Amino acid sequence: MAAIPAVAAAATSVFTFINLSTSLPLARITHCRLRSVIAASSLSNTEFNINFAPPKPKPSPPPIISTSKSDNDSEEQLYTPWIVRDGKGNPAPASLLHAMAIAKTSKKKKTKTKAKSENAPKSKPATFSTEPKYSKAARRFYNENFRNPAQRLSKILAAAGVASRRSSEELIFQGRVTVNGSVCKTPQTRVNPEKDIIYVNGNRLSKRLPPKLYFALNKPKGYICSCGEKETKSVMNLFDDFMKSWNKRHPGEPKPRLFTVGRLDVATTGLIIVTNDGEFAHKISHPSSNLSKEYIATIDGEVNKRHLIAISEGTFIEGVHCTPDLVELLPKQPDISRPRLRIVVHEGRNHEVRELVKNAGLQMYALKRVRIAGFRLPPDLMLGKHVELTAGNLKTLGWKK
């Protein structure tokens, strides 16, 4: 009971202090009041029963799962195997775990690199997937000296469409060609149309050569394969419309000079290649290329087995014994009354198929070429029409464009 007057006295002093200091701010008044209460409570020996809020519960550790079955599971202390602990069962500090992890990963990396170095083959030197870039001066030097090398004068004239190679040589021998202001009478002279000034019959040769062209023509009967200007029914006359529209389709480019690859007789129809590429024509037409050519021969009369044997045995043409690769009698068709033979040759001698049929005692009614190497005449290509060859067609002919 003696503590009650002491508390009352402390409270009275506090209120008195508040009344005297009404001019002070509220925060200072509250602070002073708390200090007075604490001081009064410390002077008295009274014990107050003050209860504070309970502390926040700590998160419970995850349940320990035992992998081994035993009867004394409740008595034994279980530990998770992936937690490192010391001898007393306490978990190891985080710094130790971090150091152990770094050590393990570094060892694994080293072993991997060793295994790779032992088993892997020797590395190849690095190669550029794209061409490196050079300066303008380097590109100019390359283009002037290596990109377009000098070629023979007669070949340049033929490629430019002036005339055939033989006719170009005749023009050079006649002194009608000048190179850099001087008359040149040697067809083997090396020139470059981009660097040298070439005149033919007073007309300057264009620096730009025409693009390479390749056509498949279905040659009709009565046309010859000569490129002479005096011929009225030449194969080249079938390209008149193409040449007239050249300037519209290719402005600024010189007109190409087209010619046939090999020849067909006047009476022979079918597939023939027309181009302005001399190297391509030489490779296709040369006997060393061994390109097979397929013909369909229509015979006037009956064909027996002895005729087929006679054709397969071959005949002599210009002193050379020529034998076909294949001779076959095609089955009869309702719309074709005459028998037909399929004959395949590869040498390409002059009149070879006609001589083989004549030597067998047969009379030729019509002859048509339908295939050269792997390229076959399109069935929808009409007589006198042409179609431009694609890169795939040239590949079947054994030429890479």
- Report the CATH number of the 214-396 domain: 3.30.2350.10
pLDDT at position 231: 53
The token pair that represents 289 in the structure block:
């290329």
What value, to the nearest 5°, has the Cα angle with vertex 118 and ends 114 and 122? 120
SS3 281: helix
Query: Across residues 126-154, what is the average pLDDT?
Result: 70
Query: What are the pLDDT digits (tens) for 22-76?
Result: 444 444 444 444 454 444 444 445 454 555 556 666 666 655 554 444 444 444 4
Q: Is 241 a catalytic residue?
A: no
Residue 128 has pLDDT above 50, yes or no: no
CA dist list (Å): 284 to 113, 274, 299, 382, 399:
57, 11, 28, 24, 8
β strands within 265-390, DSSP E: 269-275, 293-299, 315-317, 320-322, 326-329, 340-345, 364-372, 375-376, 386-388
In the chain, residues under CATH classification 3.10.290.10 are: 147-204
Residue % of the chain over a pLDDT of 70: 65
Query: Across residues 320-342, what is the average pLDDT?
Result: 92
- At 278, is the pLDDT very low, low, confident or very high (cuts 50, 70, 90)? confident
DSSP state of 338: S
β strands within 173-319, DSSP E: 177-179, 182-183, 190-191, 198-200, 203-204, 214-219, 259-261, 269-275, 293-299, 315-317
Query: Across residues 140-161, what is the average pLDDT?
Result: 77
Lowest mean pLDDT among 104-108, 193-197, 339-343, 358-362: 104-108
- At 140, is the pLDDT very low, low, confident or very high (cuts 50, 70, 90)? confident
CB 233 within 8 A of CB 220: no
pLDDT at position 1: 46
DSSP 54-112: PPPPPPPPPPPPPSS--TTTTTSPP--TTS-B-TTSPBPPHHHHHHHHHHHHHHHHHHH
The token pair that represents 15 in the structure block:
């209120």
pLDDT at position 24: 47
C-beta neighbour count of 162 within 10 angstroms: 20
Within 13 Å and on the Cβ side, how many CA atoms surround 175? 2
Strands 269-275, 364-372: parallel, antiparallel or unpaired by DSSP? parallel
Point out the catalytic residue in the list 73, 240, 265, 325: 265
Nearest CA to 285 out of 263, 307, 301, 255 is that of 263
- At 21, is the pLDDT very low, low, confident or very high (cuts 50, 70, 90)? very low
pLDDT at position 59: 63
SS3 233: coil
Query: What are the pLDDT digits (tens) for 203-248?
Result: 888 888 888 999 999 999 999 987 665 556 889 899 999 999 988 8
Residue % of the chain over a pLDDT of 90: 33
The token pair that represents 320 in the structure block:
């050379």
Q: How far apart (Å, rounded) are the C-alpha atoms in residues 168 and 190?
A: 14
The position carrying tokens 């005749």 is 170
CB 373 within 8 A of CB 396: yes
9 compared with 150, residue with greater pLDDT: 150
Residue 4 has pLDDT above 50, yes or no: no
Residue 12 has pLDDT above 80, yes or no: no
User: Of 73-87, 137-151, 157-171, 176-190, where does the model show the most confidence?
Assistant: 176-190
Amino acid making up residue 190:
R
pLDDT at position 250: 85
CB 285 within 8 A of CB 325: no
The token pair that represents 37 in the structure block:
């209460």
- At 155, is the pLDDT very low, low, confident or very high (cuts 50, 70, 90)? confident
198 strand-pairing partners:
179
CB 295 within 8 A of CB 377: no
Residue 322 has pLDDT above 70, yes or no: yes
- 153 by Cβ neighbours in 10 Å (0-12 / 13-18 / 19+) ranks as buried
pLDDT at position 151: 85
Q: How far apart (Å, rounded) are the C-alpha atoms in residues 179 and 197?
A: 6
- At 79, is the pLDDT very low, low, confident or very high (cuts 50, 70, 90)? very low
pLDDT at position 69: 47
pLDDT at position 141: 75
Residue 329 has pLDDT above 90, yes or no: yes
pLDDT at position 183: 93
Lowest mean pLDDT among 36-40, 170-174, 309-313: 36-40
The rounded radius of gyration (Å) of the Cα atoms in the chain is: 52
Handedness of CA 274, 279, 280, 284 (dihedral sign): positive
pLDDT at position 210: 86
In the chain, residues under CATH classification 3.30.2350.10 are: 214-396
- At 363, is the pLDDT very low, low, confident or very high (cuts 50, 70, 90)? very high
Residue 94 has pLDDT above 50, yes or no: yes
216 compared with 277, residue with greater pLDDT: 216
pLDDT at position 208: 81
Q: How far apart (Å, rounded) are the C-alpha atoms in residues 274 and 287?
A: 18
Nearest CA to 375 out of 241, 280, 311, 297 is that of 280
Q: How far apart (Å, rounded) are the C-alpha atoms in residues 350 and 342?
A: 18
Q: Which fold would CATH assign to domain 147-204?
A: 3.10.290
- At 385, is the pLDDT very low, low, confident or very high (cuts 50, 70, 90)? very high
